[in-house]
Amino acid sequence: MSSNSYSLSLLAHPPVAKKQPHPLTTHQLTRTDNYYWMRDDERENKDVLAHLNAENDYCDEQLADIKPLREQLFNELKDRIVKDDNTVPVKDGQYWYHSEVRGDDEYARHYRSSSIEARDKHLLLDVNQLAGDYEFYELGEVAISPDEQLLAYSEDTEGRRIYTVRFKNIASGEMFSDVLENTEGQVVWANDNKTVFYVKKDLQTLLGFQVYRHVLGTPQADDVLVYEEQDKSFFMGLGKSRDESLIIIDLATTETNDTWVLDANNPEGEFSALMPREEGHEFDVDKLGDTFYIVTNWQAKNFRLMTATQSTIADKNRWQEHTPHRENVLLEGVEIFNDYLILTERELGQTRFVVVDQQAGRLTLEFDDPCYYAAIAMNPEPNVSSARIYYSSLTTPGSLYDVDLKTGNKTLLKQQQVLGDFNPEHYRSERLMVTARDGEQVPVSLVYRIDQFNKDGSNPLLQYGYGAYGITIDPSFSSSSLSLLDRGFVYAIAHIRGGEMLGRHWYEQGKKQYKQNSFSDFIDVTHALTEQGYAHPEKVFASGGSAGGLLMGAVVNQAPELYLGIGCHVPFLDVLTTMLDESIPLTTNEYDEWGNPNDPAFYDVIQAYSPYDNIKPQAYPNILVTTGFHDSQVQYWEPMKWVAKLRELKTDDNILVFKTDMDAGHGGASGRFKSLEEKALEMAFFIALLSNKGLDK
């Protein structure tokens, strides 16, 4: 550990929020929310802005003494990044596409060329130029017309995930006058090269619920509504089939999918349902030639692969089974090629790829690390005999491979370069199984620097978790984490219930009425890691964001004594109030995840763990809270209220600081370097807390 000492002594006068009792009555039960006034949908309330600014000032003042450490860490993170870098070109149609970053540029430039060598590269978009003076900028989707002459791209300049679509002539560089506002960000071209389809958002709920048809050269006001979803529990997306014959509307709740299609050669036609909507039927469908491929949970909790034709797709009973359901194997997806399929499967938490040769059988691609992340990379061309896959582990930087689909032989195309003295042999990763209180085995992925680690309970630990929506947080390489590992930290990912690490049942046992399992798993992992000597019980930190921020909020209510410090980012904390208010963005989409508290049974379930509702007079850890003022996923007032109530009720003198990025949304700051400041802030906070306690030796 570093011998430097850092001061984080508590300042005397943190901001104190005014209390305005606001009764909330449901099912004849009344809660009083003293900080309900902090909600301002327009984000113009002077009292709200004043309090957020006061919290930001307090945070800056409280952390002023560790500013040199933050700057040191930021420079460490930045100095590991290759300033001049480019992606490996990928062929799509006649051209090869790649992007480049140079020097201190925050954003990439996108190019295309006539060959993989990119000698005649042509600039498509300079995102640095597009970002201009915006404090926040995100490039959404880039879509090339079928004749490869035109380009559509979407952009978000506020962080609210409300995208504007613009159009460009690639050869001349001329911008079209067409501008599509308030979209979901996806643009799909019809095959006539002049018609596009896009999803429009409800600006109150931020729900994409309408599909419009736009013809180039006409005003958006003339666009035609071609589909509207009445059920507000569905998310909506747009795509195109693998063979580009169909334009596809994807509709999805947490537990149900629906798909509508249109002949891409007939943009004036009408969308039709591919099959009847059936509650509880989850599936993903694609088409190549005459065959539909359906990854479905129909009579298959862990999914199976079925095939159908145009005449049989609407009737599940006429589908043909391609890959059967297996109790211990989760089928996550399929990539379709003319002569091959690649199945992505997961068993005992580990991903593998099964290459199916339509003529010669199957071969399996597996990897050697004890825990890792692997995914199918971009493969836009179906008529190929090789495919690209991406691989990374806690000790292996991101690597792009070309895989021969007949032999399985892998050729490394590029591996992320880490500047400085990084050597993967200096680090070791492990996969553990921790026994939870109910007997379930919880997977844990962890990494440490070998010469900084002793399995004697002396190391500090940063434990991360998420545990929601069936999202699996696979262990992948992070050059940022090296700054902690090199200072003796163990970094662990707790693969708690609510994700799909161990299959569909792992998700189902961490949602709705079983949500408490997510929190208990995380706490039990902390106990196990300290008991097994991976960490000192007084040097434990935890971090999570969004639904992982909910995890942090619940854990500090239930087991605050386990953690020295907590990082809680864009956190979902006021679960009960939010899920009772359909005007709040995305609430109705979440009923299948958390339960609908308009049902008394789910009201009780959510009230029992909702972090905001369960704050009580007790000692809490040191806590760093961050959010974005324009967050579209979790509104800024949730952490704002939570911090105010914590300040009111907590009995300790530990540090509680709250930082709001007034220009950012749910994803935090934009740009490849600016976002590192947030990581450096959390790391400095944790390191300084060790120093404060005299535990940094």
Instruction: Give dist(CA 377, CA 91) in Å, integer.
Output: 12
DSSP-derived secondary structure letter, 425? G
Return the number of other C-beta atoms located less than 10 Å from residue 553's C-beta: 31
Instruction: Give dist(CA 638, CA 625) in Å, integer.
Output: 11
In this structure, which amino acid lies at residue 500?
A: E
Instruction: Give dist(CA 37, CA 107) in Å, integer.
Output: 38
Q: What is the DSSP string of 579-619?
A: HT-TTSTTGGGGHHHH--TTSHHHHHHHHHH-TGGG--SS-
Q: Please pick, among 631, 661, 670, 691, the residue that the annotation labels catalytic.
A: 631
Q: Is 661 a catalytic residue?
A: no
Contacts for 348 with CB less than 8 Å, ≥ 6 apart: 328, 502
Q: Is 666 a catalytic residue?
A: yes
Helical (H) or strand (E) element with 249: strand 246-252
Phi and psi for 417 in degrees, rounded to 5? -90, 135
- HSE-CB at 248 with a 13 A cutoff on CA atoms is 21
CA 556 to chain centre: 23
Instruction: Give dist(CA 89, CA 23) in Å, integer.
Output: 58
Structure tokens at 246: 């169909």
* Residue 396 near residue 427 (C-beta atoms within 8 A): no
Closest by CA position to 416, among listed 480, 474, 464: 480
CA 558 to chain centre: 26
Instruction: Give dist(CA 576, CA 368) in Å, integer.
Output: 44
Radius of gyration of the chain (CA): 26
Contacts for 424 with CB less than 8 Å, ≥ 6 apart: 395, 396, 397
Q: Please pick, among 145, 476, 483, 546, the residue that the annotation labels catalytic.
A: 546
Q: Please report, to the nearest 10 degrees, the dihedral formed by the alpha carbons of residues 486, 490, 493, 496 taken in order.
A: -170
Instruction: Give dist(CA 681, CA 667) in Å, integer.
Output: 16
Put residue 683 in one of left, alpha, beta given phi > 0 → left and psi -120 to 50 → alpha. alpha
CA 565 to chain centre: 23
| Tokens 């990897």 found at | 367
Report CA-CA distances (Å) from 554 to 528, 614, 683. 19, 8, 22
Return the number of other C-beta atoms located less than 10 Å from residue 47's C-beta: 13
Q: Please pick, among 399, 666, 670, 691, the residue that the annotation labels catalytic.
A: 666
Q: Is 631 a catalytic residue?
A: yes
Instruction: Give dist(CA 654, CA 565) in Å, integer.
Output: 9
Instruction: Give dist(CA 525, CA 544) in Å, integer.
Output: 15
Q: Please report, to the nearest 10 degrees, the dihedral formed by the alpha carbons of residues 676, 680, 683, 686 taken in order.
A: -140
Q: What is the DSSP string of 272-334?
A: EESS---TT--EEEEEETTEEEEEE-TT-TT-EEEEE-TTTTT-GGG-EEEE--BTTEEEEEE
Residues recognised as catalytic: 546, 631, 666
